[in-house]
Amino acid sequence: MTPFVDETYRHANEKGYTCAPQCLPCAISQLYYLMDIGNLEEAGPVVEILFGKLFARGKALDAALHHDSGELLNRLIQLYDP
């Protein structure tokens, strides 16, 4: 893995997530991390993973409520429309 990917996994593990970012909590953690460090190029694919999983499972609302989507969605809006 690249140092960036290693750092992303470390960040997710510190948040209590131990699996790869293909799962929803890790994708959210990874997205927050990418936005925090200002890496917008890497954030795009994570957004696709995140929302693909949300809608593919038909649990967008449940996941949004569980993971404080208000803050997440506000940050995504700022990411794509500064």
Our count of domains for the chain comes to 1
User: Distance (Å, rounded) from C-alpha 36 to C-alpha 29?
Assistant: 11
Q: Considering the entire predicted model, what is its pTM?
A: 0.37
| Residue with tokens 């209590």, as numbered in its chain | 16
Residue with tokens 């949004």: 64
Tens-place pLDDT, residues 38-59: 776 777 677 666 666 555 554 4
Full residue range of the structural domain in which residue 31 is found: 3-80
* Crossing angle of helices 69-80 and 40-56, rounded to 10°: 130
pLDDT, tens digit, 9 for 90 and up, residues 24-34 = 566 677 777 77
